[in-house]
Structure 1
Amino acid sequence: MDWTTEAIERLRALWAEGHSTAEIGRRMGVSKNAVVGKAHRLNLPARPSPIRREALAERPAQAAPAAARLPRPAGLAPRSTLAPTVAPAMATTLAATPAPAPAPMPAPQPSVVRAFPRLGSARSCCWPIGEPGTPDFRFCSAEATPGKPYCTQHASVAYVKARDRREDAA
């Protein structure tokens, strides 16, 4: 799109009227993204998202905290309306409650050595067995099929042709 002076003036006028970017694009014969990009480059005033506008209309109006009512200094980004808030009574409770001490880490077991096979090595199967993070977790470690990270049994599960999967689903 070649943005002529007339096109820019029309964009500014439609933007000032409050039309959506999609509607401006339809009226001007350009994409919504072209409108958004040009509006950004022209530093046109930001408008609230239509999604947030609908969500705010559905919620009951709440009294804003004093800090939220203060005007924002120039150059600062607007506050997010999605940030979690804490009720004042809960904030004092949270501030007065000390954080629990972290649980001590269990001592490492020197007799248990888990050597994870390197993905680049073709020596042992890399098929995971068990739940990661549990003491039972390990890798298959059978001899891997040449050129694959898995043994023959696990390769037959990992590498399934698309038609085989469709037949299983039927």
Structure 2
Amino acid sequence: MNWTDERVEKLKKLWSEGLSASQIAAQLGGVSRNAVIGKVHRLSLPGRAKAGGTAAAARAPKRNTSAPRAPNYASRIATRTVTRQQGATMLKEEIEIDLMEEVSYRPAANVVVPISRRLGLTELTERTCKWPVGDPLKDDFHFCGCDSPDSSPYCSYHARLAYQPVNERRRTAARAN
């Protein structure tokens, strides 16, 4: 494929408008995306300008920025690159997305840490809490030993620590320390 002066000028114009190499290749015809990138590099063209808007962006629904936000949401706008097919060419375009993260506040319940009965392994029964306390290699290692419900190996306090999502467990452990 020969780069005629006319095609080079069209390449420069499209590049300055912010079109991607794939889009330019599709408009020029008979040339690959990599050929466009190579020619841009050889011509030492500056970085692409951001596109003023694409046809797809014009068709996309507009964000309603005047809508009130609930106070328990923190939002921010991010740009994501999406790929779509136009004929035999894959096109990449940047779209704005509104990221929302739910922020919930749950005050700590009146947490009462039970006083451990400090039982050893041989002192445990099926109705005592088997939550280990301390380092098993040290002399002061023991088990909680408080009363546990029939269906659990732990007292109600340690059952809440044992059976919860990881994030909540980390938060609870940080509060205990």
- TM-score norm. by structure 2 comes to 0.28
Bigger strand share: 2
Bigger helix share: 1
Larger Rg: 2
Whose relative contact order is higher, 1 or 2, with alpha carbons under 8 Å and at least 6 apart? 2
- TM-score norm. by structure 1 comes to 0.29
